[in-house]
Amino acid sequence: MRLLGGLVAALAVVLVPSAPAFADNPPVASKTDLAQQAPAKKFERYSSGKRAYTKGSLTGVVTNPGAVIENADVKVSGKISDLTKGSGCGYAVFRITYQKGGNQPFTHKTFRDCTYKTPASYSFTYKKATLVELKVCSEAKTTKVSDQCLYGGVWKVVYATI
């Protein structure tokens, strides 16, 4: 009798209609679909000590969907603010990794504001980007950002196709 009861319970489980298989886990769009359909990605970041601040957005369109390493044409725009009352400047530094002949070198784009609480706008585009990272620093006014800013601390990932 126990065997028959067990079979009935097992059969009931099999025959009871259930929700679609993806009710709890809906299908996930591929990274290509997301990159092509996603609205502008917003970002904001302070420097250490909150002496500089940037806020902006990035849009990217994948130009080679389905490739082993996809890349995108990206457009970045925003504002950098110096929050120091002294002679310091706020720097927004972007590190862009891109595709070139099977390699993935990187380059920097740097934007500066040296006027207390009067943000400076920036905008740039880059083709074949695979990764865009951001770092915000507050330093003395110079023609180029310091190695401490470039190589110390952590980069914030703003966009990635990989």
Residue 63 falls within a domain, yes or no?
Answer: yes
Q: What b/e string do you get for 99-115 counting C-beta neighbours within 10 Å, with b at 16 or more?
A: beeeeeeeeeebbbbbe
Q: What is the CATH classification number for the domain harbouring 108?
A: 2.60.40
Residue 35 falls within a domain, yes or no?
Answer: yes
Residue 1 falls within a domain, yes or no?
Answer: no
Residue 7 falls within a domain, yes or no?
Answer: no
At residue 50, the pLDDT reads 94
At residue 36, the pLDDT reads 53
Distance CA 136, CA 127 (A): 23
Distance CA 150, CA 4 (A): 72
Note the pTM of the prediction, 2 decimals: 0.74
Pairing of strands 72-82, 120-140: antiparallel
Residue 25 falls within a domain, yes or no?
Answer: no
Supply the range of the domain harboring residue 94. Answer: 31-160
- Assess contact for 93 and 113: CB atoms under 8 A: no
Q: Which of 78, 83, 82, 89 is nearest to 132 (CA)?
A: 78
At residue 141, the pLDDT reads 87
- Report how many domains make up the chain: 1
Residue 54 falls within a domain, yes or no?
Answer: yes
At residue 123, the pLDDT reads 98
Residue 142 falls within a domain, yes or no?
Answer: yes
At residue 40, the pLDDT reads 86
Burial label, 39 (beta-carbon count in 10 A; 0-12, 13-18, 19+): exposed
Residue 18 falls within a domain, yes or no?
Answer: no
The tens place of each residue's pLDDT in the chain, 162 residues long, gives 444 444 344 434 334 343 334 344 444 444 445 445 456 899 999 999 999 999 999 999 988 888 888 899 999 999 999 999 888 899 999 999 999 988 999 999 999 999 998 999 999 999 999 999 999 999 998 878 999 999 998 999 999 986
